[in-house]
Amino acid sequence: MASRLTVVLALLLLMVAVATAQRSRGGGARGSSRTSSSSASSSNADEWDYRAGSDKVNMKNVANLTEVLDNWKYDIMSQMKNLLMNDHQSLLPDYARIQPLSEALDDLYKEFNALKAHLGDLTEKFTAVETFIDELKVKQASAPASAPANPAGSLPRQNRRVVRKKPVASTD
C-alpha cells in the first residue's frame, strides 16, 4: 500500500515539474501570444492571452484530464486517511526518539492522572456534603408550617464578626 502511494506521489510530482518547466520556458498557449520583440513596452505582452488557440482545444481531453486528476486526488486522500487510521507509525515520527518531547508528554500524562485522582477525592468529599444538605432540606420540609420561624417578640439574630487586633510589640 505504501509503495502504491509512493508511485502516485511520484507521478503527481512529475506532472507538477513538467507544468513548471513549460511555464518557465514560455511554452504552450502562453508562448504563442508573446511578441518576439524584446522592446515591447505594453503590459499585454506579458499577460497570457486565454483566447489564443481556444478553438483548437479538445474539450473531451480536458474533461478526461480533469477526471484523472480528481481520481488521483481521491486515491491519494483515501490512502493517506487509511494510513493515518491504521498505520500511523509509518507516517508520523517516533516521538520516543525525541527525548525532551517524550519527557514532556510523560510529565503531562502523570499530571493528568494526578488531577483525575484529585477530582475523584473531591467527588467523594462532596457526596457527604450533598447528603447533609439533602437531610437539612428534608427536615425543613417536614417541620410544621404553623410554627413561625421567629417568635413575634424576638428580633432576627444579626451575625457579627469580631475582629481582634493583635497587640504590636514595641521595640524600646
CA–CA distance, 54 with 50 (Å, rounded to integer): 7
Shared domain for 108 and 135, answered yes or no, is yes
CA–CA distance, 37 with 45 (Å, rounded to integer): 10
The residue behind cell 513596452 is 41
Going residue by residue through the chain (172 aa), what tens digit of pLDDT does each one get?
Answer: 567 777 777 777 777 777 777 776 655 444 444 444 444 445 566 787 777 877 777 777 778 888 889 999 999 999 988 888 888 777 777 766 777 777 888 889 999 999 999 999 998 888 888 888 999 999 888 876 555 555 555 555 666 666 666 777 666 5
- Domain count of the fold of the chain: 2
Domain contains 157: no
Shared domain for 16 and 85, answered yes or no, is yes
Q: For position 115, what pLDDT does the model report?
A: 94
CA–CA distance, 127 with 135 (Å, rounded to integer): 12
Neighbours of 28 (CB within 10 A): 13
Any residues with CB less than 8 A from the CB of 72 and at least 6 apart, and which? Answer: 8, 11, 12
Domain contains 159: no
Shared domain for 100 and 21, answered yes or no, is no
pTM over cut 0.85:
no
Domain contains 76: yes
Shared domain for 136 and 99, answered yes or no, is yes
